[in-house]
Amino acid sequence: MFYHETPDEHQPKTKKPNVITGTGRNRKGQELNQLSFPYGIFVDEKKNIFIADYANHRIIEWKYNTKKGKIIAGGNGQGNQIDQLNEPKVVIIDQQNHSIIIADSENRRVIQWLNQKQQILINNIDCVGLAIDKHGFLYVSDWYNNEVRRWKMGEYNNKGIVVAGGNGKGY
């Protein structure tokens, strides 16, 4: 139950929250209706959920109102090959080209999957956060360097621009 008070009435009201369990009905595992340490999630405009399935080294798309997911990236075992992931933490979808952008944490890279083709966008980064703005800029948080950098989508041959932090670790 959810309790709240309205500004003009001081009596608590109760309301049942509208919650739907879409995933996680089963125990931890590697089947398509199971997850193992799901980390990051992204929800698109169609209410599909994209999950960084950390310990299964894959990205799962769980379509709205379904009982199991579909592997859309990784799923080829833990590793550092171009078609493998190693403990992915974050997943976002580039709405412009429908590509999947992943913070592949233990490989220390940001990788893009588009129609089962992979491209490493950024290497040697301890990424724990990703975002894309409406102007086509990719924002990447770097945990180790205590900064957030920005890249123009498609232009990854540079170090990006520091937009937050970058002055050492704060206390």
**What are the strands of the beta sheet with 117-123, ordered from one edge?**
88-94, 99-104, 109-114, 117-123
3-state secondary structure 27-92: CCCCCCCCCCCEEEEEECCCCCEEEEEHHHCEEEEECCCCCCCEEEEECCCECCCCCCECCEEEEE
Domains, the chain? 28-165 (2.120.10.30)
Do 35 and 28 meet the contact criterion of CB atoms below 8 Å apart? yes
Average pLDDT of span 63-88: 95
What is the reported pLDDT for 154? Answer: 74
Average pLDDT of span 163-170: 79
Task: Kindly report, residue by residue over 51-60, the tens digit of the pLDDT.
Answer: 999 999 999 9
Is the pLDDT at 120 greater than 80? The verdict is yes
Task: Kindly report, residue by residue over 83-114, the tens digit of the pLDDT.
Answer: 999 999 999 999 888 999 999 999 999 999 99
CA dist., res. 66 & res. 77, Å (int): 25
Percentage of the residues of the chain whose pLDDT score is greater than 90? 63
Is the pLDDT at 23 greater than 80? The verdict is no
CA dist., res. 73 & res. 118, Å (int): 9
